Structures are given as C-alpha cells and as structure tokens.
Amino acid sequence: MAENNLAAAILRAWMHRGWFACLAWPISLIFGALLRVRGLLYRFGILKQESLPVPVIVVGNIFVGGTGKTPFTLWLLAQLKQAGFKPGVISRGYGAERTEPEIVRPNSLAQQVGDEPILIAQQSACPVVVSRNRAAAGRALLAAFPDVNIIIADDGLQHLALARDVEITLFDSRGVGNGWLFPAGPLREPASRRRDLTVANLNPGELISADLPSDTVRMQLNGSRAYQLIDPKQVRELAQLHPTLLVTAAAGIGNPERFFAMLRQYGLTITALPLPDHFDYAINPFANITADMILITEKDAVKCRQLHDLSSDPRLWVVAAEAQIDPAAFDRILKKLTER
C-alpha cells in the first residue's frame, strides 16, 4: 500500500539525522517553541487544567505511532483490580465519530468509539468512556460508574487540559529515534519531558535504548498462541504449526514489524502484510491472498469481527498477546500515587 510505504520511509528517515531530517529541522524548532509556550500557559494558569475527584494515571508516548500502550493499560488495569481498586478508562477513541462522551461497550462499533477502547472494554471488564475532551470523558465516567476510584487516561500525555497524578511514557526498541521533534524526527515532545515511569516494550534479545533513563522498566509481549476468529474455542500453539503451512501475518498497528518479529521468534516463516495504524478494513486486504492461515492482532480483530466477509473467513487467527512486566513497576506506580 502506497500510504504505508510512505509512512515507513518517513519513519526510517526519522531514525537518523539525514537530509530529510535536516531539511525539516527549522520547522521542528517552531513546533518546539509552540510546545514550550503552551506548557507555560498551563503552568501559569492562563490555560486551565481540570482536576477530577479521583487519581488519574496517564499512559502515553512521545514517539509518533504505537509503542504498546494498550497491552500496558490492560496489565495496569489488572494490577489495580488485584490491589483492590475499581479502575475506569478514558480515551480519545481514534477515529471516533461522536463528539459527546460515550460509554464503550464490548459490542460497540469501532467507527463510533475507536478500536483500542473496545479491546480494553472487552478484555478488562472495566468501564471505558471516549471523548475528544478527556476531562468531559472523566466526568461522564464517574457519573455513570460512581464506584470508580481511579482513572487511566489512555494516550493522554499531550492533553494538558486534564490534570494528572502519574505520567507513564512508553517506548520500544527505537528509543527516541534521531532525538528531534516532529517533523524532523518522531517525537511529539522533547525526550527530556518529565514522567514518573518509563517503560520499554521489547522483544526477547532487544536491549533498552541508551537514550532512555537507566531505571526504564522492560515490558515484553508474549503471544505464543492464536485462536480462530470464527471459532475462538479453536486454539493453536504458534511453535507447533506445521512448517509447510502458508502463513500470512497482518498488523494495522503503529509498529507492525514488532508483531512480525514476535511471530518469527516462534520459528514461523511468514509473509508480512503491514497495514496502516487503525486500518478500517473498508477494503478486504485478504481477498486475493493465498494463505492457509492469516495471523492478525487483537486490535485488528476488533474490526474484523464487525465485518461479515472477514468474520466468516476461517483463515483468520488472532494472536493473543499479553504484557509481561516486572511487578516492581506497579509498586513504583503506587508509591507515586501515595506521594501525590
């Protein structure tokens, strides 16, 4: 796909300070100046922050694109519930059509509330509300679910209108790229931006980038098995798939190569099909593909289930990826909450 090839080319350019980055560098200085002015306006109260009556944990990234926020959010929700909290989630809801806050149901439509909020609602059984205005989403969440006593703001680092108690920033093996702000580099904010916890989403064997803090927490996604989209009771271990099986792997996520690399670690020979992040499947990308099995992410499965041609395709298998993180990371989060 031309759009995906262009995005991949830009991302490669952002990993180095080559000619493209240097040409865009003057524009990134303007972008950085605007960020500093905006931050000062909030710091001095010219632009107002709204505080919610319960603690707010923001999970996000400064690297453009996906770095594993949703798996981390699901892990954090499970940890909070185990510790006795009653958590809820607010999100922008990428591509969501409605402007007013909306409660996300497990059977909500992706074009109305976004794919990731549905995935979180399905897997966590926690209340989820989406809105472009995160504070409005928080108010709506607490009004509808008054027992919620802590809120996770999914992908809300740059939404400064909402006050927060803890900020968690995710990276992957790309680190901060060339270290420059958009459009000369991949950063939405400077690499020096404050945060309470830094998490690196890495595959086995990958090292934490030297440009990340020394106390960065390692996260690893374990996706060793897949279930059939049309019949989730059918489960197969990836490492036990027959070597002659023709396998295509498709991913409409921020960093598709991470998904493909994870699959190859189980000995799979795959034909990789990277799709744009939040791909809407308005066109069936598998219609002309020859494959015995097509492996997709859980994020892609949210939309495939809602489309007849895809939901009935027996070749589609969903890789269930679960975040594995040192439990000490949750202790650090609790400590920050106590300090605040």
Q: Could you read off the pLDDT of 180-237 as tens digits, one per residue?
A: 999 999 999 999 999 999 999 998 888 899 899 999 999 999 889 999 999 999 999 9
Question: CA–CA separation, 148 vs 28, rounded Å?
Answer: 40
The answer on pLDDT for 99 being more than 80 is no
Q: Based on the domain organization, do 191 and 246 belong to the same domain?
A: no
Question: CA–CA separation, 84 vs 47, rounded Å?
Answer: 35
The answer on pLDDT for 1 being more than 60 is no
Could you tell me the sign of the dihedral formed by the alpha carbons of 311, 102, 283, 271, in that order?
negative
The whole domain housing 195 covers: 56-85+149-220+324-339
Give the confidence band of 104 by pLDDT, cuts at 50, 70, 90: very high
Q: Based on the domain organization, do 252 and 267 belong to the same domain?
A: yes
- Burial (CB count within 10 angstroms: exposed 0-12, middle 13-18, buried 19+), residue 107: exposed
Q: Is 274 within a domain?
A: yes
Model pTM above 0.95: no
67 in a known ligand binding site? yes
Q: Based on the domain organization, do 164 and 81 belong to the same domain?
A: yes
Q: Is 308 within a domain?
A: yes
Q: Based on the domain organization, do 158 and 201 belong to the same domain?
A: yes
The answer on pLDDT for 2 being more than 60 is no
Q: Based on the domain organization, do 242 and 314 belong to the same domain?
A: yes
Average pLDDT over residues 55-60: 96
37 in a known ligand binding site? no
Question: CA–CA separation, 89 vs 126, rounded Å?
Answer: 7
pLDDT digits (tens, 9 = 90+) for 12-35: 899 999 999 999 999 999 999 999
Q: Is 282 within a domain?
A: yes
What pLDDT, on the 0 to 100 scale, is given for residue 155? 86
Q: Is 48 within a domain?
A: no
171 in a known ligand binding site? no
128 in a known ligand binding site? no
Give the confidence band of 338 by pLDDT, cuts at 50, 70, 90: confident
70 in a known ligand binding site? yes
With a pLDDT cut of 70, the percent of the chain lying above it is 98
Give the 3-state secondary structure of residue 194.
coil
Instruction: List, in sequence order, the alpha helices (H) in the chain.
Output: 2-14, 19-43, 69-82, 110-113, 115-124, 134-144, 256-264, 298-304, 308-311, 328-339
Tokens of 88: 């809820």
Please tell me the total count of domains within the chain: 2
pLDDT digits (tens, 9 = 90+) for 136-168: 999 999 999 999 999 999 988 999 999 999 999
Residue 299 neighbours by CB distance under 10 Å: 25
Question: CA–CA separation, 340 vs 275, rounded Å?
Answer: 41
Q: Is 243 within a domain?
A: yes
Q: Based on the domain organization, do 74 and 182 belong to the same domain?
A: yes
Q: Is 94 within a domain?
A: no
Q: Based on the domain organization, do 248 and 304 belong to the same domain?
A: yes
303 in a known ligand binding site? no
The answer on pLDDT for 97 being more than 70 is no
Q: Is 115 within a domain?
A: no
Give the confidence band of 4 by pLDDT, cuts at 50, 70, 90: low
The answer on pLDDT for 8 being more than 80 is no
The overall average pLDDT reported for the chain is: 93
Q: Based on the domain organization, do 277 and 294 belong to the same domain?
A: yes
Q: Based on the domain organization, do 248 and 293 belong to the same domain?
A: yes
